[in-house]
Amino acid sequence: MEVSAGILKEADVLLASFAMGVLLLFVYDVLRIVRRIVPHKMWLVGAQDLVFWLCSAVALFAMLYRENSGYIRGFVIGGVLVGMLIYNLLLSSWVVAGSVFLLEKILFVLGRPLVWTARLLKKPLGFVGRKMKKLLRFLKKELKKIWKTVKMGICKL
């Protein structure tokens, strides 16, 4: 018994929509990982979500256009939703938690030399900063005296 070309094409479209659902949620997980590593304000999270879903709509339309000549079919939307659901249930929490853990460890290891350097330079730079502050205060006072003298000289003319 042979399967018709139309059925094979429909199965191809279903598989592509399933993969699109997994891919969309994976990209959103990358966004979630970035948000956990670098804190964001609420308006920025909303803007990122808006851009993500607009891009997702364009990507989904491009997939539909390429695979199914642009026809929106119920099983395609269902395939995307099932792909998202399966990825969310099986992999999403592992991907986010594991990636955040690894990235935090990597950033910690890479940041240690910077912390050590900052500790070494804190006292000398603090000393130089205090001396510069005193010098700037002194220069400001002297400039005020000079300016006052100049103003008085101009007023006498």
> Does residue 154 have a pLDDT over 90?
no
| Contact (CB, 8 A) for 64 and 71 | yes
- C-alpha 157/C-alpha 27 separation (Å) is 75
Q: Can you state the angle between helices 5-37 and 42-68, rounded to 10 degrees? A: 160
Tens of pLDDT, residues 61-103: 888 888 777 677 788 888 889 999 999 999 889 999 999 999 8
Tens of pLDDT, residues 106-124: 888 888 887 787 777 777 7
Comparing CA positions, the residue from 78, 84, 79, 25 lying closest to residue 52 is 25
Torsion angle (degrees, nearest 10) of CA 10, 14, 19, 21: 140
Task: Write the DSSP assignment of the chain as a string of letters.
Answer: -PPPHHHHHHHHHHHHHHHHHHHHHHHHHHHHHHHHHS---HHHHHHHHHHHHHHHHHHHHHHHHHHHTT---HHHHHHHHHHHHHHIIIIIHHHHHHHHHHHHHHHHHHHHHHHHHHHHHHHHHHHHHHHHHHHHHHHHHHHHHHHHHHHHHHHH-
| pLDDT above 70: percentage of residues in the chain | 97
Of 5 and 35, more confident:
35
> Does residue 19 have a pLDDT over 70?
yes
> Does residue 36 have a pLDDT over 80?
yes
- 94: number of Cβ within 10 Å: 10
> Does residue 51 have a pLDDT over 90?
yes
> Does residue 50 have a pLDDT over 90?
yes
> Does residue 5 have a pLDDT over 80?
no
pLDDT at 1: 63
